[in-house]
Amino acid sequence: MEGKSKLTQEEKRLKRIAQLKAMLQQEERKRRTGQLVAFGVYIEEFFKTSDDEAKKRLEESIKKHLSGRNLERALDGIKRLSK
């Protein structure tokens, strides 16, 4: 056991704090993911029940507020729902 160094109490405490912070961050990501899914479900239902003018406004809003990969994904969703 000579090759292994023992952690001091302070090092153990700091390691535990880092683990707890990582767990908290993971839970916060899970919560945000759930919220995003719920928003997506709402948008799909809204789109399905909207008239053509509302659908057009939604698409224009998406183009105004999103860019890059998010824009591409959102427009793919519009195409899927329009079929």
Residue 19 pLDDT level (bands cut at 50, 70, 90): very high
The answer to whether residue 12 scores a pLDDT higher than 60 is yes
- In angstroms, the CA 17 to CA 47 distance is 45
Instruction: Find out whether 13 and 21 touch, Cβ atoms under 8 Å.
Output: no
Instruction: Find out whether 58 and 46 touch, Cβ atoms under 8 Å.
Output: yes
- How close are the terminal C-alpha atoms of the chain, in Å? 67
- In angstroms, the CA 43 to CA 15 distance is 42
Residue 76 pLDDT level (bands cut at 50, 70, 90): very high
pLDDT in tens, 39-67: 999 999 999 999 999 999 999 999 999 99
Rounded to two decimals, what is the model's pTM? 0.72
With H, G, I as helix, E, B as strand and everything else as coil, classify residue 8.
coil
